[in-house]
């Protein structure tokens, strides 16, 4: 079982729809990241959160530490939101801490979102 | 403006040749990372560096080498020993490894195809 699981793998929506992408993880974490990867491949960091909720424009990210679950919501979706959305967690455990003392980033496989006009 | 620059964006090489991927950052970040991305898989850590002149193997270091002679630069060499080098390679950096919860910044990636 992967340490970070995302669902769904693929998502097609009509413009204007409310979208939710889910991320569940099985390790203790110090932070969770939501990333956006466009077709060209470059990755942009959308959110980094360790508790509660963050909002930026039409994007909202929430995290429930007890349930080890995070969601990324997109309100009023638009075709330009089409991308792969990646959840990544920074583990707290020393045994898993490759990548520096703050721990390695463990990535989900991504959710491919297509928003149709 | 600050950021991470990877070059080239696309790279083609013949099997058996070594190839070096460039990663430069002007964010004054101490920590830098190289990841590999394959279809249907999450990013996997190849090498990382917490400080100049120091680097550590990640999960899939075999067939790769790196150097960190300058803070701004962390080039990755894909050697002929790497069995399946065709992949998308991403470089990232973060401010310093001693601080928890620091944001990671990513480059635009290099797509390497070995023929």
Q: How far apart are the first and last CA of chain A?
A: 36
Residue A90's H or E segment, with its range, is strand A83-91
For residue B95, what pLDDT band results from cuts at 50, 70 and 90?
A: confident
Say which DSSP state A79 is in.
G
Computed over every residue of chain B, the mean pLDDT equals 90
Q: Among all residues of chain A, which has the CA nearest to that of B32?
A: A99
Q: Among all residues of chain B, which has the CA nearest to that of A104?
A: B45
- For residue B58, which residues of chain A lie inside 8 Å, CB to CB? 98-99, 104
For residue B29, what pLDDT band results from cuts at 50, 70 and 90?
A: very high
Q: What is the pLDDT of residues B45-83, one digit of tens each?
A: 999 999 999 999 999 999 999 999 999 999 999 999 898
**Residues in chain A, pLDDT under 70:** 1, 93-104
**In angstroms, rounded to a whole number, what is the distance separating the alpha carbons of residues B44 and A22?**
21
Record: contact B104-A33, CB cut-off 8 A: yes
- For residue A31, which residues of chain B lie inside 8 Å, CB to CB? 100-101
Record: contact B43-A100, CB cut-off 8 A: no
Q: Among all residues of chain B, which has the CA nearest to that of A85?
A: B42
């Amino acid at each position: 079982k992967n340490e970070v699981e995302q669902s769904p793998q693929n998502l097609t929506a009509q413009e204007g729809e409310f979208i939710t992408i889910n991320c569940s993880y099985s390790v203790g974490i110090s932070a969770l990241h939501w990333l956006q990867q466009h077709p060209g491949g470059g990755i942009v960091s959308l959110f980094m959160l360790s508790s509660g909720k963050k909002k930026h424009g039409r994007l909202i990210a929430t995290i429930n530490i007890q349930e080890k679950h995070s969601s990324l919501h997109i309100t009023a979706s638009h075709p330009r939101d089409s991308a792969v959305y990646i959840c990544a967690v920074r583990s707290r455990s020393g045994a898993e801490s490759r990548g520096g003392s703050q721990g390695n980033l463990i990535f989900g496989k991504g959710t491919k979102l297509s928003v149709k006009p | 403006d600050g950021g991470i620059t990877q070059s080239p964006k696309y790279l083609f090489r013949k099997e058996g040749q070594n190839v070096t991927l460039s990663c430069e950052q002007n964010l004054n970040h101490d920590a830098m990372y190289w990841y590999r991305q394959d279809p249907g898989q999450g990013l996997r850590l190849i090498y990382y560096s917490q400080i100049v002149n120091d680097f550590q193997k990640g999960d899939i270091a075999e067939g790769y080498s790196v150097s960190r002679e300058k803070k701004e630069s962390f080039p990755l060499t894909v050697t002929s020993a790497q069995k399946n080098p065709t992949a998308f390679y991403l470089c990232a950096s973060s401010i310093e490894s001693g601080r928890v919860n620091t944001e990671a910044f990513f480059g635009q990636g290099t797509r390497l195809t070995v023929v």
